[in-house]
C-alpha cells in the first residue's frame, strides 16, 4: 500500500479478481458511465489538500475490466486527486478512442488550444466537484454552462443533494444538459422524502440526468445496500430516459467493504428488475448523452 506524507489516508485497491454478475446479463453496447484512471507521482502529481491517496488505476486495467464484465464502452471521469491535470485522461482516451469518452475537470482560464485538444481526444463534458479536494467548485456555474454550450459539452455535478435546494434555480437555467452524480451522494438515513432528494427528483423530472451509482457511498446499512433501492427506483420512475449507470471503479475513498463490479451490476438488477428498462439505462440513454455510435 502506498505511503503518503501529506496526511491524506491511502485507499484500499479494488479486487484483483472480478467475477461475472449473477442476477443479470450485460447487454451488447452497454456503457459504464463513470470510472477513473489514476497515475502515480512524480509523473502524474497529486493535488495538495486532497482527502485521500488512491492506488494506481491504469487505462489497461480498466479496459480489461470492461472486457471481463462484457461492457462495450466506458466513460472516464477526471479523478479529483489529479485536479485539472487531465494528461492521463487524454492519454487513455487517445489510445482507446472507439471505446471511451471523457469527463474533464478544467479551469475557466484554460486556453482555447487546451479545450480543443480535450474535445479532439473524446471529452464530452466537464465535472464540478466540491466533495473531495482537487475539484472545481460551484461559484462559477453560469460561466461553466456557457463554456460547455460553446464546446458542445454537458456538465456533471458531484454534490450532496442536501445542497440542491439552494442552487436548483441556477441549475435549472443552465443552457446545457447536466447530470447529478451518485444519486445525490448523501446518506440514505435522510430518507426519500428529504428536501434534498425531492429537489433532485424535481430536477430530474424537469430534464436533468441522474447517475445510478455509488451505493456504497450513500448506504448506512452496508452490503447488499438494500437501503439504496427506493432511491434508485424513485429516480428511474422520475425519468427512465435520463438515468445511466456507473461502476465508479476503482472505488476511491471507500473505507468500508470493498465490492466487485459484479456486485454493483447485481444491485442494478435489484434497482431495475425489468430487463428492457435496464437495457435502456445501460445502452440507449448513455449512447445519447455521451455520443457513442456517432
The one catalytic residue in 32, 181, 248, 266 is: 248
As to burial, measured by CB atoms within 10 angstroms (0-12 exposed, 13-18 middle, 19+ buried), residue 131 is middle
Neighbours of 267 (CB within 10 A): 26
Q: Which of 169, 147, 124 is nearest to 292 (CA)?
A: 124
**What is d(CA 249, CA 227) in angstroms, rounded to the nearest whole number?**
21
**What is d(CA 99, CA 94) in angstroms, rounded to the nearest whole number?**
10
Residue 36 sits at the vertex; the CA angle it makes with 178 and 110, to the nearest 5 degrees, is: 60
Ramachandran category for residue 64: left, alpha or beta (phi over 0 → left; psi -120 to 50 → alpha) = alpha
**What is d(CA 107, CA 105) in angstroms, rounded to the nearest whole number?**
7
**What is d(CA 13, CA 192) in angstroms, rounded to the nearest whole number?**
31
DSSP-assigned beta bridge partners for residue 126: 104, 155
Cis? peptide before 250, omega within 30° of 0: yes
Q: Based on the residue annotation, tell me whether 248 is a catalytic residue of this protein.
A: yes
Residues 6+ apart with CB under 8 A from 77: 34, 35, 36, 102, 103, 127, 156
Task: Report DSSP letters for 85-144, one per residue.
Answer: --HHHHHHHHHTTTTEEEEE---TT--HHHHHHHHHHTEEEEEEE-SSTTS--STTHHHH
Catalytic annotation, residues? 248
Amino acid at each position: 500500500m502506498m505511503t503518503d506524507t501529506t496526511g491524506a489516508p491511502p485507499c484500499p485497491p479494488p479486487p484483483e479478481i472480478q467475477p461475472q454478475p449473477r442476477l443479470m446479463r450485460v447487454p451488447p453496447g452497454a456503457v459504464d458511465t463513470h470510472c477513473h484512471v489514476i497515475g502515480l507521482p512524480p509523473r502524474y502529481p497529486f493535488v495538495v489538500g486532497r482527502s485521500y491517496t488512491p492506488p494506481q488505476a491504469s487505462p489497461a486495467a480498466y479496459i480489461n475490466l470492461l472486457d471481463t464484465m462484457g461492457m462495450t464502452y466506458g466513460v472516464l471521469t477526471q479523478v479529483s486527486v489529479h485536479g485539472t491535470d487531465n494528461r492521463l485522461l487524454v492519454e487513455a482516451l487517445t489510445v482507446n478512442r472507439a471505446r471511451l469518452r471523457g469527463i474533464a475537470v478544467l479551469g475557466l482560464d484554460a486556453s482555447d488550444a487546451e479545450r480543443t485538444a480535450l474535445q479532439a481526444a473524446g471529452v464530452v463534458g466537464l465535472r464540478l466537484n466540491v466533495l473531495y479536494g482537487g475539484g472545481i467548485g460551484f461559484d462559477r456555474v453560469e460561466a461553466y454552462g456557457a463554456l460547455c454550450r460553446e464546446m458542445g459539452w454537458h456538465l456533471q455535478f458531484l454534490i450532496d443533494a442536501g445542497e440542491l435546494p439552494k442552487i436548483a434555480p441556477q441549475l435549472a437555467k443552465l443552457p446545457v444538459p447536466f447530470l447529478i452524480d451518485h444519486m445525490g451522494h448523501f446518506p440514505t438515513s435522510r430518507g426519500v422524502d428529504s428536501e434534498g432528494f425531492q429537489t433532485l427528483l424535481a430536477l430530474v423530472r424537469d430534464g436533468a440526468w441522474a447517475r445510478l451509482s455509488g451505493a456504497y457511498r450513500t448506504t448506512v446499512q452496508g452490503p447488499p445496500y438494500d437501503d439504496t433501492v427506493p432511491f434508485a427506483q424513485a429516480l428511474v420512475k422520475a425519468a427512465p430516459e435520463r438515468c445511466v449507470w456507473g461502476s465508479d471503479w476503482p472505488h476511491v475513498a471507500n473505507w468500508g467493504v470493498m465490492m466487485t463490479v459484479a456486485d454493483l451490476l447485481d444491485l442494478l438488477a435489484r434497482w431495475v428488475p425489468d430487463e428492457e428498462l435496464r437495457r435502456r439505462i445501460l445502452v440507449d440513454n448513455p449512447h445519447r448523452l455521451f455520443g457513442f455510435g456517432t
